[in-house]
Chain A
Amino acid sequence: MNTKGSKFRTFYLSLFFVILYVPVLSVVLYSFNKSSSTAQWTGFTFDWYLQLFNDRVIFESFKISMVVAIITSTVSAIIGTASAVISSYVSKKVESAINGVMFLPLIIPEVALGLSLLIFFTELNLTFGVPTLVIGHSLFCVPYIYFMVQLRLQEIDSSIIEAAKDLGASSWQIVKTIILPLVIPSTLTGSLLAFAMSLDDVIISTYMAGPTGTTLPVHIFSMMRTGVTPKVNALSTLFLLGTFLLIGLNQTIGRKGEKFYEEN
């Protein structure tokens, strides 16, 4: 009975991972395929990677993606953390109002969100490019950081704040010396998440890009229209590698932050 159950579990889990990762693995594998077709394996090569590095357009769009992701994660970190800290100081009513506002961008379908931003920015006569991309991405990145920091804030023992007050700290000093240091790990993990989300966003970016702001995912998407070449595979592989690095970094920071709370 028991072994039967565990066998089923093993089978189920294996199936899950096969379905999840085999396509990903094949993408990685075919990025090293000599033939430009994905139908058959004809030999090992780095050619597609070389082509990739020599492609000016891809390099430009990669640069835009990075710039947008860096600015977005920074801006979102500041706005998200500040809003979360502020929300802990206001009345319950105002706090739930802020929560509601933060939830909206997560609920509204991205297609609709992108479209409304497009119309709004056109009305404002804004030039589409990096700034509009940053605003668009921040819209859905801020809430993640906000909620992550808020969760952390709720974990902080209120007597720690009282102790600081008792020892002579003003409200601002408490924020600076106690609250911020305690939530920074959450802010960092949140902004890494924001970085990753900004980096691989397609929908909002498509609306916000304009002629000068084609991000890498948008470019990959357009490359697909002319058929898949192993160059796309190579690009995806690098993207994957970058994402894994980010996740690893995220985990390390997260674990460091956890330590403070272990016994509190």
Chain B
Amino acid sequence: MKEQLLSLKKVNKFYDEAHILKDISLDIKDGEFITLLGPSGCGKTTLLRCIAGLESIESGDILLNGESIKDLAPNKRNVNTVFQNYALFPHLTVFDNIAYGPRIKKVTKEDEIKVKVDEMLELVKMEGYGDRMPHQLSGGQRQRIAIARALINNPDILLLDEPLGALDLKLRKYMQTELALLQKQTKTTFIYVTHDQEEALNMSDRIVIMNEGRILQVGSPRDVYNNSNSLFVADFIGDRNIKEVEVVERKEDFCSVKLGKSIIDIRTDRSMVKPNECDGKVYLAIHMDKMKISYDKVDNSLYGEITFVHYAGSQIRTEVDVDGEKVTVIEYQNDYDNYRIGDKVYISWEENGAILLPKEDIEKRGN
């Protein structure tokens, strides 16, 4: 096993009274693509800035290659940042922007720098743009230059702060693929900050989900998507129906819970709640897109009346009233897209789409 590249040990950060980062501990291996995901204000950007050295930490430690870097100035840390608004130097050409790092360090000769800059321009597919000024470039192009400017320094870690935030949807999707490829190509460790779950799921090796200054869950995209460990994560990742339900029966690997008048069985091997912990009320979370509507009776299903149908091209969102509880089902185009309001239907789901969550959140259980 390779040593951890970056270790965060109980990192705490305050702004005046506000406790921004609470006991953040995280290990990152060399070559990983890690995404810090969370809503605005959850501390993800602050954590990134602490790693970059642009913010100091009040307690805890940050180890890079086993050595503490928490007291090093940003210019002494071998990490580089791609800023949200690119932060290109407006008075320098694209070439000079990229060459800034090596020139400042004065260890590389100018002709070697030229070779390296050209390599970088090729890497980000911007050959021939060296003479342009930043204001002559589009948002996507500036982003590439910002990445090239950071990567030319061969950083141990590349920190990316919502780098695609300012781009339009199409370009953003394209750049996601490009970034993931670039990461594989350069084998550089990426720590990527975003509030966009799709970006996170799409690109990352591991996702770190944060809220209110804490890490709630760390796992592969599949892991956090399917096996969310808390109400917050379940609500934040993917579209789920989340309902408070009553446990009526506990079995070895499933619980029977009551939603409205229906009693349904939920497998608990993926859930945070184990059958022996099922106590009174728990939360049931089911991915909307893992549910299915049928007119014929199905085992282990909910029964209700369609109250609304949203047609959105490739997918159909159907709202079903199940004994007063609104359940939303997302289905992709199929032969049965002619649901009518008022139809009585059965809703079933894939077993891995449903989990049970404890009533109080994980952070409050002191876990």
Contact = CB atoms under 8 A, between A and B. Distances in A.
A124 interface: no
Contacts of B150: 166-167
A260 B105 contact: no
B134 to A, nearest CB: 8
Contact of A182 (B52, B90, B100, B133): B90
Interface stretch (A19-27, A71-79, A155-163, A187-195): A155-163
A169 B101 CA distance: 8
A147 B54 CA distance: 28
Interface stretch (B80-88, B122-130, B202-210, B244-252): B80-88
Given A162-B54, A165-B54, A170 B83 contact: no
Contacts of A58: none
Interface residues on A, range: 20 to 34
A168 interface: yes
B186 interface: no
Nearest to A173: B104
A123 interface: no
B225 to A, nearest CB: 32
A262 B135 contact: yes
A166 B74 contact: yes
B89 to A, nearest CB: 6
A259 B135 contact: yes
A264 B81 CA distance: 18
A162 B83 contact: yes
A88 interface: no
A166 B90 contact: no
B81 A163 contact: yes
B144 interface: no
B80 A159 contact: no
B333 interface: no
Nearest to A161: B87
Interface string B71-85: 001110000110111
Given A157-B85, A159-B83, A259-B135, A166 B105 contact: no
Interface in A129-184: 157, 159-160, 162-170, 173, 177-178, 181-182
B90 A160 contact: yes
A175 to B, nearest CB: 13
A207 to B, nearest CB: 41
B149 interface: yes
B153 A168 contact: yes
B90 A260 contact: yes
B91 interface: yes
Interface residues of B, number: 26
Given A159-B83, A178-B89, A166 B75 contact: yes
A160 B89 contact: yes
A260 B133 CA distance: 9
A165 B87 contact: no
A121 interface: no
A160 B87 contact: yes
B54 A181 contact: no
A244 interface: no
The CB with the most chain A CB atoms within 10 A, among B75, B80, B134, is that of B75
Contacts of B80: 166-167
A261 B100 CA distance: 19
B22 to A, nearest CB: 24
A55 interface: no
A163 B54 CA distance: 10
Contacts of B84: 159
Interface string B132-151: 01110000000000000110
A260 B87 contact: no
Contacts of B90: 160, 182, 260-261, 264
Contacts of A178: 89, 91
A259 B91 CA distance: 9
The CB with the most chain A CB atoms within 10 A, among B74, B90, B104, B135, is that of B90
Contacts of A264: 90, 134-135
B135 A263 contact: yes
Given A169-B75, A260-B91, 16 more contacts: A160-B88, A162-B83, A164-B104, A165-B74, A166-B52, A166-B75, A166-B150, A167-B80, A167-B153, A169-B100, A177-B100, A178-B89, A178-B91, A181-B91, A260-B90, A264-B90
Interface of A: 157, 159-160, 162-170, 173, 177-178, 181-182, 259-264
30 contacts: A157-B85, A157-B87, A159-B84, A159-B85, A160-B89, A162-B81, A163-B83, A163-B88, A163-B149, A164-B89, A164-B100, A165-B73, A165-B75, A166-B75, A166-B81, A167-B80, A167-B100, A167-B104, A167-B149, A168-B105, A173-B104, A177-B104, A178-B89, A182-B91, A260-B90, A260-B91, A260-B135, A263-B135, A264-B90, A264-B135
Q: Which 10 pairs from chain A and chain B are nearest by CB?
A: A163-B87, A159-B87, A260-B90, A167-B101, A168-B75, A263-B135, A165-B74, A181-B91, A166-B81, A159-B83
Interface of B: 52-54, 73-75, 80-81, 83-85, 87-91, 100-101, 104-105, 133-135, 149-150, 153
